């Protein structure tokens, strides 16, 4: 008998589903829920770029500011062909709850441009970034909205954004986080998200009283988040057995040598072809028997259709929204716990917060301080969430939304938004 598949819901509907459920459990005022249903502000802009071919290409870009009750808006900028308004809106909502869960003094925002950065030259990306910054610059500010990198963007993109913003408004390094260290970026920002993911796995293993050496880990995606997760998990003793990128995956059930893989990747530009390992597709990779499965690439990769085939004991959401609500339902029925994205990948925004405070104080922390402070916050929030989940008999995702919706609702009421 096959499991009935729930109808597909859009990314923002699925975040809202978690918020409504939390609001029901918390008896949140309907007026507050009404406010959280939509974004505070959504800017949709035409982004004209003169391509190398001399042709003028018009891209579509967005900046969505979901809720700023707890502080300035904060969230990454995604360059991806599928970065449409609904996806950006959902990611902005997630940022509101992620910042609240980590108790950072920020609201939630997200930006995106529908483009394919893999098929654009450096000059075209530079022009696109400057044009995008020019079109959304009026709603940014160090006490208003502070962008950061996300899929398809990186420290170089942030350097261009900072420069474009500075040309119009004056030198303002704190306007973006995730900048190169040479321009005021924080030490450790590049590894921050992956470190947070690895810390969550280490803490979960401790709850399970398991030795990381006995745990097999599969990671989908070998970009910023996936590669740092694999590297740091392997340093913590986990056995990373499979990884992938957009071109495909590799698997060695004895464990991959991540240092050797990094050397391979720096030359080949892909994990594919690395030996000793067997090639696997991204679909097969998700179904490899393992202890911890870490989707660290795209959203919506575990759905009502394939969740029945997952053979991991635990799913660790390093990407944003990698498990759809129907996927979640199937995993819950199969008693496979899901550590939610709002916790697992919050290391990035946490170090972005450290970067912002360092920029405001014109001071730089050494790497060791960044790592110590990040670990402290990740460990504390992990245990707060797991404690709440155990106390209330809720899933880790429900506990995460209970804690964060409660905090956001409180700030909304205190500020008199409703
Ligand atoms: P990235 O662009 O650095 O890397 C993305 C990786 O995914 C690459 O290895 C790419 O090859 C792979 N990929 C792309 N399309 C794929 C496909 N169809 N199948 C399999 N793999 C594919 O992006 P990132 O910054 O590592 O972000 C990854 C995820 O983590 C995203 O969901 C992002 O929102 C989330 N996230 C990132 C950060 C951060 O600090 N970078 C913070 C929080 C959440």
Residue 213 has pLDDT above 60, yes or no: yes
Which atom of ligand 1 is nearest to 318's Cα? 30
Q: Ligand 1 site: residues with CB under 6 angstroms?
A: 149-152, 193, 220-226, 244-246, 282, 296-299, 318-320, 345, 348
Domain assignment present for residue 403? The answer is: no
Residues 196 and 158 in one domain: no
**Tens of pLDDT along 286-296?**
999 999 999 99
Count up the domains in the chain and report the number.
Answer: 2
CATH of the domain at 287: 3.40.50.720
* pLDDT, position 2: 43
Residues 157 and 290 in one domain: no
Domain assignment present for residue 272? The answer is: yes
Residues 197 and 326 in one domain: yes
* Mean pLDDT, residues 176-192: 97
Residue 3 tokens, joined: 């499991």
Residue 318 tokens, joined: 């390093």
Residues 275 and 316 in one domain: yes
Residue 3 has pLDDT above 90, yes or no: no
Residues 101 and 225 in one domain: no
Domain assignment present for residue 61? The answer is: yes
Residues 297 and 162 in one domain: no
Residues 155 and 236 in one domain: no
User: What whole-number distance in Å separates Cα of residue 354 and Cα of residue 374?
Assistant: 9
Return all residues near 55 (Cβ < 8 A) that are at least 6 apart: none
**Is 110 known to be catalytic?**
yes
Q: How confident is the model at residue 9 (pLDDT cuts 50, 70, 90)?
A: confident
Domain assignment present for residue 400? The answer is: no
Residues 218 and 265 in one domain: yes
Residue 13 has pLDDT above 80, yes or no: yes
248 Cα to the center of ligand 1, angstroms: 14
150 Cα to the center of ligand 1, angstroms: 7
Nearest CA to ligand 1 atom 17: 246
Residues 80 and 197 in one domain: no
* pTM reported for the whole predicted model: 0.95
Residues 236 and 110 in one domain: no
* pLDDT, position 1: 40
223 Cα to the center of ligand 1, angstroms: 6
Domain assignment present for residue 388? The answer is: no
Tell me the CA distances in angstroms from 219 to 200, 216, 279, 315, one per residue in order: 14, 10, 14, 10
Q: What are phi and psi of 296, to 5 degrees?
A: -130, 35
* pLDDT, position 220: 98
The alpha-carbon radius of gyration of the chain (Å, integer) is 20
Nearest CA to ligand 1 atom 19: 246
* Mean pLDDT, residues 267-277: 98
Residues 200 and 295 in one domain: yes
Q: How confident is the model at residue 4 (pLDDT cuts 50, 70, 90)?
A: very low
Q: Minimum mean pLDDT among 2-11, 235-244, 337-346, 364-373: which range? A: 2-11
Domain assignment present for residue 120? The answer is: yes
296 Cα to the center of ligand 1, angstroms: 6
Q: Write down the catalytic residue from 74, 110, 179, 216.
A: 110
Domain assignment present for residue 200? The answer is: yes
User: What whole-number distance in Å separates Cα of residue 182 and Cα of residue 199?
Assistant: 27
Domain that holds residue 333: 191-339
* pLDDT, position 7: 58
């Amino acid at each position: 008998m096959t499991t009935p598949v729930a109808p597909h819901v859009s990314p923002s509907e699925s975040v809202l589903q978690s918020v409504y459920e939390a609001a029901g459990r918390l008896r949140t005022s309907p007026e507050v829920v009404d406010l959280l249903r939509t974004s505070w502000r959504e800017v949709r802009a035409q982004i004209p770029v003169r391509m190398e071919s001399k042709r003028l290409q018009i891209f579509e870009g967005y900046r969505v500011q979901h809720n700023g009750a707890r502080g300035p808006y904060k969230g990454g900028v995604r360059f991806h062909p599928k970065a449409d308004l609904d996806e950006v809106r959902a990611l902005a909502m997630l940022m509101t709850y992620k910042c609240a869960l980590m108790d950072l003094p920020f609201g939630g925002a997200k930006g995106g441009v529908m483009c394919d950065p893999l098929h654009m030259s450096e000059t075209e990306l530079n022009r696109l970034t400057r044009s995008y910054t020019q079109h959304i610059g009026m709603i940014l500010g160090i006490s208003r909205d502070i962008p950061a990198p996300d899929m398809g963007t990186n420290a170089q993109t942030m350097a261009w954004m900072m420069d474009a913003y500075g040309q119009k408004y004056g030198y303002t390094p704190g306007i973006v986080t995730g900048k190169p260290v040479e321009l005021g970026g924080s030490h450790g920002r590049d590894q921050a998200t992956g470190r947070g993911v690895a810390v969550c796995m280490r803490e979960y293993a401790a709850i399970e009283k398991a030795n990381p050496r006995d745990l097999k880990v599969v990671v989908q995606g070998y970009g910023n988040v996936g590669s740092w997760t694999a590297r740091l998990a392997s340093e913590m003793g986990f056995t990373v057995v499979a990884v992938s990128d957009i071109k495909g995956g590799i698997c060695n059930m004895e464990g991959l040598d991540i240092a050797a893989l990094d050397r391979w990747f720096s030359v080949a530009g892909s994990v594919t072809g690395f030996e000793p390992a067997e090639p696997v597709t991204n679909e097969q990779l998700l179904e490899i028997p393992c202890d911890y499965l870490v989707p660290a690439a795209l959203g919506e990769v575990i759905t009502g259709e394939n969740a029945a085939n997952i053979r991991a004991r635990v799913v660790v959401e390093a990407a944003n929204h990698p498990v759809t609500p129907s996927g979640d339902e199937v995993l819950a029925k199969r008693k496979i716990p899901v550590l939610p994205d709002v916790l697992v990948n919050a290391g990035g925004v946490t170090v972005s917060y450290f970067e912002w405070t360092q920029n405001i104080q014109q001071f730089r922390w050494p790497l060791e301080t960044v790592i110590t402070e990040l670990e402290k916050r990740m460990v504390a929030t992990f245990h707060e969430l797991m404690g709440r989940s155990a106390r209330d008999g809720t899933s880790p995702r429900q506990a995460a939304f209970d804690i964060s919706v409660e905090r956001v609702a409180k700030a909304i009421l205190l500020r008199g938004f409703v």
